[in-house]
Amino acid sequence: MSVCQAFAAADEFATLRASPALTWRRPVAAVASAPATVASATTGSALTLAFGDLTATAGATQRITVRLG
């Protein structure tokens, strides 16, 4: 049975111009959905997400849905 979990990451600063990265140290089989702000995603023993420029999001939540594995 597959388990899906929504994972939200929010941009705290609307002026952030760097490309932030987030690592979640849990086994992830796949990214089921992600917004266009996610530049890349690596799955396996941990999930690593690299975001592009978040300035246009004005601090909005960035929701990513993954399948645990």
Strand order in the sheet with 4-10: 4-10, 61-68, 28-33
pLDDT class of 17 with cuts at 50, 70, 90: low
The reported pLDDT for the residue numbered 14 is: 42
Tens digits of residue pLDDT in 33-53: 999 999 999 999 999 999 998
* Every domain of the chain and the residues it spans: 4-68
0.75 surpassed by pTM:
no
